[in-house]
């Protein structure tokens, strides 16, 4: 498998190749087609597995790739369902130590899944629209 691009700039996963044609899969729809090999160019530096992952909606991919374990996933779900929460509340209500909590929140912030919020005059965190969309797809 390789990642290729056609003349319109669309990206595909190359499944099979002959001298004049290629069997391709559209990563977003899963549809397989044949195209002229001369009309395709390889995409350097992009793994075909990364291209294939585009079948999963972006908000869901972001939740999956930013969530290292079930406790972190539970934190994100709780922030969606009952948040935003202050950092003090999260330290008291969860079994996460301060460094683990802040590490997870930092990863979530970098992924665009949580944002800072003021809760009862204290610093806290709530989910972003991206996290809401990703979790909604997973929880439905």
Confidence category of residue 62, pLDDT binned at 50, 70, 90: very high
Side-chain half-sphere CA neighbours of 116 within 13 A:
6
| CATH code 2.30.30 region(s) in the chain | 2-55
139/44 Cα distance (integer angstroms): 36
Instruction: State yes or no: pLDDT of 88 exceeds 90.
Output: yes
The confidence score (pLDDT) of residue 45 equals: 92
Mean pLDDT across the stretch 73-93? 96
- The 10s digit of each residue's pLDDT in 14-41 is 999 988 899 999 999 999 999 999 999 9
Of 74, 75, 101, 73, which Cα lies nearest the Cα of 87?
101
CATH (one of 2.60.40, 2.40.50, 2.60.120, 2.30.30) for 2-55: 2.30.30
The confidence score (pLDDT) of residue 59 equals: 97
Q: Which residue has the tokens 């990703």?
A: 134
Mean pLDDT of the chain: 95
Confidence category of residue 134, pLDDT binned at 50, 70, 90: very high
Residue 56 Cα to chain centre, angstroms: 8
Instruction: State yes or no: pLDDT of 140 exceeds 90.
Output: no
Instruction: State yes or no: pLDDT of 90 exceeds 90.
Output: yes
DSSP one-letter code for 39: G
| CATH code 1.10.10.10 region(s) in the chain | 58-139
Confidence category of residue 128, pLDDT binned at 50, 70, 90: very high
Across the beta sheet with 114-119, what order do the strands follow? Answer: 85-86, 122-127, 114-119
The confidence score (pLDDT) of residue 19 equals: 86
Q: Which residue has the tokens 């909590």?
A: 101
For the chain, the helix, strand and coil percentages under 3-state DSSP, each to the nearest 5: 45, 30, 25
In this prediction, what percent of the chain has a pLDDT beyond 70?
A: 100
CATH code: domain 58-139 is: 1.10.10.10
48/11 Cα distance (integer angstroms): 10
């Amino acid at each position: 498998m390789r990642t290729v691009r056609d003349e319109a700039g669309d990206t595909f996963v190359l499944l099979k190749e002959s001298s004049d044609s290629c069997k391709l899969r559209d990563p977003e729809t899963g549809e397989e087609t044949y195209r002229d090999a001369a009309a395709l160019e390889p995409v350097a530096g992009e793994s075909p597995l990364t291209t294939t992952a585009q079948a999963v909606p972006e908000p869901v991919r972001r939740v999956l790739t930013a969530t290292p374990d079930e406790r972190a996933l539970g934190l994100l779900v709780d922030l969606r369902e009952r948040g935003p929460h202050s950092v003090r509340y999260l330290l008291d209500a969860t079994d996460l130590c301060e460094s683990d909590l802040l590490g997870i929140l930092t990863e979530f912030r970098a992924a665009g899944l949580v944002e800072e919020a003021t809760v009862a005059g204290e610093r806290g965190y709530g989910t972003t629209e991206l996290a809401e969309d990703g979790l909604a797809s997973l929880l439905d």
